[in-house]
Chain A
Amino acid sequence: MLMADVSLRKVIKRYDDVEAVRGIDLDIADHEFIVLVGPSGCGKSTTLRMIAGLEDISDGDIMIGGDVVNDVPPKDRDIAMVFQNYALYPHMTVAENMSFGLRLKHYPKAEIKARVTEAARLLDITDLIDRKPKQLSGGQRQRVAMGRAIVRNPKVFLFDEPLSNLDAKLRVQMRIEIKKVHQKVRTTTVYVTHDQVEAMTLADRVVVMNKGRIEQIGTPNELYHKPATRFVAGFIGSPAMNFIPCRLEDAGGTLQIRLTDRIAFALPSARAARYNALPRTDKLLLGIRPEHLTESHAHLGSGVESFDTVLDVTEPMGMETLVYFGLDGTPVCGRVDPNAGAKDGAPMRLAMDLNNMHLLNEETGAVL
């Protein structure tokens, strides 16, 4: 089996004076499913296109299977790419679309047929094999585009926002399809998306990018529970993490965190030990996810503190109700039980689980 690991070393992309990608280091293991995620303009697509060879790199090295491919043309990199808008050849049938690359390389006809049949079976498009792209729905077209990648049996699959043109329901379906295909084919995959849910659900490891740099690399759970920066903390998770201005205070031998004049909580001991060395003068942000802001109970666990507030707006979602309120003008979102009696404009007692809090430096954005 060919090793198909991909490595990026200090890769930079400059357009005239603008640096779109500012020095990326990334190691992708063989068989790994990596998702590059970030807001538009963060350089994720450019990075993918540089791996594909569709963009020249301005500086640094890209290696596929241990070989530097900086100056290798796309066709010799042994990669396959799936585009956001499918990019099917409109005048060819599904089978012709899928076999185009193999036909250019003069594969034997029998092998082409075998590979196309196998890929079509895998993607459940056997019945569509003689149709033209215009006779297919969006989801079917995207399957064909994936089939075109699969038949070539490349070292690396590159996906450039492949689900962005599909409607929400189909997107969820295709997401599962892509995951299934990867479980069967096990080809090293680099997948670009701006959708953090796609990133979390598909990836072995997620690479969060912002402004041409990597913010953090980690498994979906690492990113969710241990974000390294404010950007990652705010980008991953929906509804997004709350950031509440706060400061540390010493009160009678314990460390406490003050949110407003009225609200201050003693930190759980593990947290207190971790934050004790911080200067008390720093401008800090408390990062807390909505699911750690719930309705208060009679018996609160250790590290869970309750407080009273008045709700601005409530959003019943069915399995939960989102509640919005303000703390000294900072909008905050919590998730409460639908039966907890949350009402627009009504007072409510909420509980904050400080065992799952994050403390961030407001100026640097670093998670402390």
Chain B
Amino acid sequence: MSTLVIDKAGPTRKLGSMSRDRAWALRWSYFFLVLFAIFFLTPPVYMLITSLKSSAEISAATNPWWVFHPTLSNYVELLTSNQFLRFFWNSSIISIVVVIVTMLISIPAAFALARMKFWGSATLATGVFLTYLIPDSLLFIPLFKMLAMIQDFTGITLLNRWYVLVFIYPTLTVPFCTWIMIGYFASIPKELDEAAIIDGASWLQTLLRIFIPVALPGLIAATIFAFTVSWAQFLYPLVFTTSVDQLVLPVGITTTLIKGDVFNWGQIMTGALLGAAPPLIIYAFLMDYYIAGLTAGATKG
């Protein structure tokens, strides 16, 4: 029995100093995490509070951080408004199509740039990233002119149609997603595709059966990025669409709920909250699949 006690005492003391270090590290972590949480959660909380108020209460001189007469009327009004549902629908369909288009272009492009060494592939990979660095506020005028010219030549209506955004958003999403995927594909050991090649796989089979499953976390990161960019994009839809039935959510909320100098704050906040919901849901859903270290076991280590 006595040896058992001694055995226990030894490691406990060692663990003690270890855990003291750890405790301090944790304290600092919590301190900064709480600080950041307050910083980032204050606006949404304020939005939530405001969205539960009637217009009368918002303009009344009461404590803005408290709801005295909670009401869901803002939510009911927005969710029964065909206009708002139309914005929501436009945003959804555009974002989904853009994500699909982006993936269909980015994955093969990244695979080619990361693995099939060909003349100029390195330069091309850098070039892809550089295009992403050009701000959209510089691009929208030339893009508008281009689309106007195409429209004039072909007679196909492009401007002021929601689907024009499906062509424009990939100019933002494809370069960045390709860049992310190049990084992920490059981190896959070279021997893995050599093994696949010797096993008799074609390039396409190597991509579909080895690279995509192995780089799934990267694929999900790219998907989340493409979706977020499409969903939250403001400048391009503001420029390229004007009719109310063609608007997407961020533009729709600000253009229809602000009339002159009258701000319908309750509905603006409600609309913004509802608009933030889909990305949140998608994050929560995809995070389950976002398992880091999926390549563990492929090679040494």
* Contacting pair A90 B214 (CB below 8 A): yes
Chain B contributes a number of interface residues (CB within 8 A of A) equal to: 23
CB contacts (< 8 Å) of B196 on chain A: these are 89, 100
Q: 1/0 per position for B165-199, CB-CB distance to A under 8 A? A: 00000000000000000000000010110111111
Of A75, A80, A86, A133, the residue contacting B201 (CB under 8 A) is: A75
CB contacts (< 8 Å) of B200 on chain A: these are 75, 101, 104-105
CB contacts (< 8 Å) of B205 on chain A: these are 104
The number of inter-chain residue pairs (CB within 8 angstroms) is: 83
CB contacts (< 8 Å) of B297 on chain A: these are 88, 90, 132-136, 141
Q: Does B15 contact A (CB under 8 A)?
A: no
If A87-B191, A87-B299 touch, whether A75 touches B197 (CB-CB below 8 Å) is yes
**Interchain nearest-CB distance for B139 vs A (Å):** 39
* Contacting pair A90 B294 (CB below 8 A): yes
Q: Does B83 contact A (CB under 8 A)?
A: no
CB contacts (< 8 Å) of B210 on chain A: these are 89
A325–B286 CA distance with the chains assembled, in angstroms: 68
Q: Does A85 contact B (CB under 8 A)?
A: yes
CB contacts (< 8 Å) of B92 on chain A: these are none
Q: Does A83 contact B (CB under 8 A)?
A: yes
Chain A contributes a number of interface residues (CB within 8 A of B) equal to: 32
CB contacts (< 8 Å) of B197 on chain A: these are 54, 73-75
Chain A positions 120-145 with a Cβ under 8 Å from a chain B Cβ: 132-136, 138, 141
Q: Does A165 contact B (CB under 8 A)?
A: yes
**Interchain nearest-CB distance for A101 vs B (Å):** 4
> Can you show 14 pairs from A to B with CB atoms below 8 A apart?
A52-B194, A53-B198, A73-B197, A75-B197, A83-B191, A85-B191, A88-B298, A100-B196, A100-B201, A101-B198, A104-B201, A104-B205, A133-B296, A165-B300
> 16 new A-B pairs (CB below 8 Å) besides A88-B297, A138-B300?
A54-B197, A74-B197, A75-B197, A83-B191, A87-B189, A87-B191, A87-B194, A90-B295, A90-B296, A90-B297, A91-B213, A101-B199, A104-B199, A104-B205, A105-B200, A165-B300
Q: 9 closest pairs, A vs B, by CB?
A: A134-B297, A133-B297, A87-B191, A101-B199, A85-B299, A75-B200, A90-B298, A134-B296, A87-B195
